[in-house]
A = this chain, B = another copy of it.
């Protein structure tokens, strides 16, 4: 991990990541922080997200319609992603069965660092809207 100086903007990005239920993209974070940091640039958000990921402070969930989304909750847990609105929801860790996370190596395949379980479907808000 490369040595880092303190940076008020990086701190703000991380704090925002921690405080939200969203699974933000760079753009989302940029828009949220811009009022407080009028001189914030999108490049800084990208750089810091990458840095935080390298430091193990946050992790990438997946790419949704072209943009990467991040999660600051580092306890292993699955996600639910709505195919209609793209919203990502955390699922309780119990949905990630111990039989899955206990697998550390698959013979003839490789060593496992991370297990990603994602359910794709239609969230309740979207299915309610579609009924109306």
| Chain A residues within 8 Å of B, Cβ to Cβ | 62-63, 80, 82-83, 89, 91, 95, 97, 99-100, 103, 106, 108-124, 126-127
Contact = CB atoms under 8 A, between A and B. Distances in A.
A32 to B, nearest CB: 24
9 contacts: A97-B97, A97-B99, A100-B117, A106-B119, A110-B124, A115-B117, A115-B120, A116-B116, A116-B119
B109 A114 contact: no
A116 B88 CA distance: 14
Given A80-B106, A110-B124, 4 more contacts: A91-B106, A95-B106, A109-B124, A110-B127
A122 B113 contact: yes
Contact of A120 (B63, B113, B121, B126): B113
B110 A114 contact: no
A82 B91 CA distance: 25
A116 B117 contact: yes
A62 B116 CA distance: 11
A80 B109 contact: yes
B127 A109 contact: no
B124 A114 contact: no
Contact of A117 (B82, B91, B117, B124): B117
